[in-house]
Structure 1
Amino acid sequence: MKKILFLLAISVASMGIQAQVKTPAPSPAATVKQVVGLTDVEIKYSRPSMKGRTIFGDLVPFGKLWRTGANKNTTVSFSEDVVIDGKTLKKGEYALFVTPKADVWDVFFYSDTENWGTPEEWSDAKVAVKTSVKPEMLNRNVESFTIGVNNLDNNYGVLEISWEKTVAPIKFEVPTAKTAMASIDKVMAGPSANDYFSSAQYLYQSNGDLTKALGYANKAVELDKNKAFWMYRLKSLIQAKMGDKKGAIETAKTSLAMATEAKNADYVKMNNESIAEWSKK
């Protein structure tokens, strides 16, 4: 009996050790998502609060690199290339670091996003874009550190960093006209070879309308300019499934020649096996 009670006590103690106490984070994590024109912008950061403290020039010293928030470095991502201060920032995710001063802030978009705070070893080679902005004074306090995307226009947005009585605006331009025209041109030009291929593949794999699938496959190979052997492979499979073994063999031979030229062993093997199978009487 004593042994059972002893084991039970150990079990309860173990459960207590494994339990996790939940308390509010001093600097809660936040994610901001905003579409600017046709560009997706996402910010991930932590939000410390003033709590009666003097922030800039004290808690956040002037002239010293700052993580732009708390905890893990703040990140900003763009789905398209953007322009900041006349410099192109390639689409992707960047850590956002700043060096605040009383009259100007230096802002860095840093390619290494895996830092807890600032990097142990700073590398200028990882600075994708650097710009400088003038901080503006507010007539009110911003208690919790805030980053937002404001002053939206089809062609630009403003990344605003706000805390205490200071806001630092970083304007970025987005390629809305270029992206929109590319989309318009694509749609107006009609379906691409890949669109027809995907449609034919779906109908073939789902046992759909094979006549329609073959029509789509024919369109795909007609529009293909890159010797896409996989498109001819699909057409041959559709032909074989429809009972046209002779046509399937001829199409498979075309796919085989292209796959051989491209040195794709898998498609060479598949085409050879299908030709042999379909050639049987």
Structure 2
Amino acid sequence: MSLAVSDLCVSLGGRSVVDGVSFGCEAGELVALVGPNGAGKTSLLRALASLVPSRGAIRLGDDDLRTLDPRARARAVAYLPQGHEAHWPLPARDIVALGRLPHGAGDPARLSAADAAAVEEAMGLADVGALADRPVTSLSGGERARVAMARVLAVGAPLILADEPTAALDPRHQLDVMGVLRGAARAGASVIAVTHDLGLAARFASRVLVMCEGRLAAAAAPETALAPQILARVFRIEAYRATLAGEAVLVPWT
């Protein structure tokens, strides 16, 4: 299901943080959202998830996301926020099962066969099957991040919004998580992921949105959106570039 965003504006505390942003995300596409700190990336993502007031149009397929009832919107949009704090010692499997709440699931110990299968599949994709029975409060930050990713995948939503999904992860699991998001896109979801890792964006995304001071500075294929002149203007850096096994390598250098 395709996402279409038109002239999106967000103001917080009387200050404009997203200003006139328009873009699309097709079903089957992984879009990376990058930009300096304070560029408006998280505010944009939260607006798409209807978590902050916004102006403009946000349509998923034929639906205006902001007019959907909360349960329908929760089935349509799976949102992974920054940070993965845990305050109750629930088993990791029960946390992942929360992703089935929009589908009517209740007690995690009494899931339907379909809900249980969705939970197990999501845990396998996020590589947290071995953590299923461990209290989430006993997990490391990286482990909690992967459990949170499994919860998002368990929703089975056509739109996935992930805010810095690789933060706190070791290099192997950074690659795994980006691979999982790319796999979700290839399975038909529209996926938007905020990342500060330009190398991961260049390698895994089909398109990159570059934000600067609340506006889009670029929206194009990685090689165009992360071109030297854009990196110099927006990030004030130069990067080393190469290709390995047919995929882009980009390393911020100076």
- Quickly name the TM-score band, shorter chain normalised: under 0.3
Larger radius of gyration: 1
TM-score (norm 1): 0.19
TM-score (norm 2): 0.20
* Greater RCO structure (CA 8 Å; 6+ sep): 2
